[in-house]
Amino acid sequence: MFPLLVLVSLLFVWTLVSERLVRWSITAPIAFALAGIVLTRGDSPAVPIDLEAHPHLFQRSVELVLAVMLFTDATEARDYERLGKSVGEGRLLGLALPASVALTTLFGAALFPGRSWWLLGVAALVVMPMDLAPVSTFLRDARVPLRVRAALNIEGGFNDGLASPLFVFCVSYLLSSDGDTFTGLLLNVLKGAALAVLVGAGLGLGAAYLVRRALDAGWARPAGLRLATLAIPFMTYALSLLVGGNGFVAAFVAGWCYATTAHAVGHRNLELAHDAVEVMALAVWFLFGKLTADEFTADGLSWPVIGYALLALTVARMLPVYASLTGLGFTRAERSAVGWLGSRGVTSIVFAFLAYAQLPSGDAVFIFNVTCATVLLSIILHGVTMEPIARWFQRHPQPDAPG
């Protein structure tokens, strides 16, 4: 009960001072991760949290956070659908993301010789998907060109859903026995993705129909339907797991299918889901601080791990993004901003924990080390630079023509 009291107290204090701290480039992920590091570190921490006592509960909890986040990401991505030809989401997802994963894998092979290529692939799939939580205020900043915000939003909404099946496949291959074949594992992953799409589409479209009917018939009011909207990702995730599907893919598909109805009902229909996922994400950031403190207190932070994290956040991300957006109407500054602001967060934390729970201890520690370093550097570097970038765009309005 004491950890819960601390978390809600931190939430209350944050709401009182958040605007002031954001002006100083102190974002919510930075604040809550730092609080987790300070309050839970050491042999006699101020806030004792024993994650090993209920590992399965913790795993399911962080998975649900990501499921709701994917659902809300999908609904937001539909807002930018009308800009589909101008924001380059096809290139970002089809070209830049695979290239970034490949580059990160190669950097891992150079920095960690002797590691399995499959393990390096898992690490790349863990640290490369974006999570826009560390730069969420940037996406609502009118000083930033709409093209930049739309590109980041659509990419952030899709990339973790696309990476999820590949992540599951690579982890399954690492855990496979001699009797498991490559084809068999691939078919199993594809089956899980297909079931997830069916479940997500079925529940998303079904919920959309029922919500519209209830609203038209006067059985419910728009404000009350916010609870129904919040229930959809939880139902989708649970049902997808029950039938053997990928819960993350299902939650995203459900959000995509439900988005039109959500916006037709009114923006307030999504506010509760957004607020809920924000609160749950803050709890994950606090726990991330604890995990980071535990990991680096025990094993330290090596230079190869720091180098890997920096390369994943810079070269492996920025070069593919900059190249993929060339010729689409983005100026050089806009391409650079999209490439730089590929923040990492809850998605990487959830994937890392899933890998940690399944892989042998040595491989699991490696994945967790590189993830903690990458996410920690991301929330610091991206958090402190987004306000200066927004101010730069305000002083230098971008033309519509390519730069």
pLDDT in tens, the chain (403 residues): 777 788 888 888 888 887 777 777 677 888 888 888 888 877 777 777 776 666 677 778 888 888 888 888 888 766 655 554 456 667 888 899 999 999 999 999 999 998 999 999 999 999 999 887 777 778 778 898 888 888 888 788 778 878 888 888 888 888 876 556 677 777 888 888 899 999 999 999 999 999 888 888 888 887 778 888 899 999 999 999 999 888 888 998 999 888 878 767 765 777 888 888 888 888 888 888 887 877 766 666 788 999 999 999 999 999 999 999 988 888 899 999 999 998 888 889 888 888 888 888 888 889 989 998 999 899 889 888 888 899 999 898 877 644 4
Distances (CA, A) of 97 to 35, 79, 153, 215: 32, 22, 14, 40
Residues in Cβ contact with 80 at an 8 Å cutoff, skipping those fewer than 6 apart: 87, 150, 153, 154
Distance CA 324, CA 253 (A): 25
pLDDT of 320: 95
What are the two backbone dihedrals, phi and then psi, of residue 380, each rounded to the nearest 5 degrees? -80, -55
Does residue 196 contact residue 249 with C-beta atoms inside 8 Å?
A: yes
Report the Cα–Cα distance between both ends of the chain, in Å, rounded: 55
46 CB neighbour count, 10 Å cutoff:
11
Which of 96, 166, 172, 93 has the alpha carbon at shortest distance from 125? 166
Does residue 133 contact residue 343 with C-beta atoms inside 8 Å?
A: yes
Chain CA centroid to CA 242, Å: 23
pLDDT of 300: 64
Residues in Cβ contact with 136 at an 8 Å cutoff, skipping those fewer than 6 apart: none
- Core vs surface per residue 92-105: b (16+ CB within 10 A) or e: bbebbbebbbebbb
Q: CA angle, 108 as apex, 106 and 109 as ends, to 5°?
A: 65
Residue found under tokens 């939003």: 153
- The CA R_g of the chain, rounded to the nearest whole Å, is 21
Distance CA 224, CA 268 (A): 10
Structure tokens that stand for 228 in this block: 């129904």
Which of 190, 171, 180, 177 has the alpha carbon at shortest distance from 116? 171
Does residue 104 contact residue 317 with C-beta atoms inside 8 Å?
A: no
Residue 141: left if φ>0, alpha if ψ -120 to 50, beta else—which one? beta
pLDDT of 156: 81
Does residue 403 contact residue 152 with C-beta atoms inside 8 Å?
A: no
Which of 391, 383, 385, 386 has the alpha carbon at shortest distance from 31? 383
3-class SS of residue 318: helix
3-class SS of residue 296: helix
pTM for this predicted structure:
0.85
Residue found under tokens 């306000």: 387
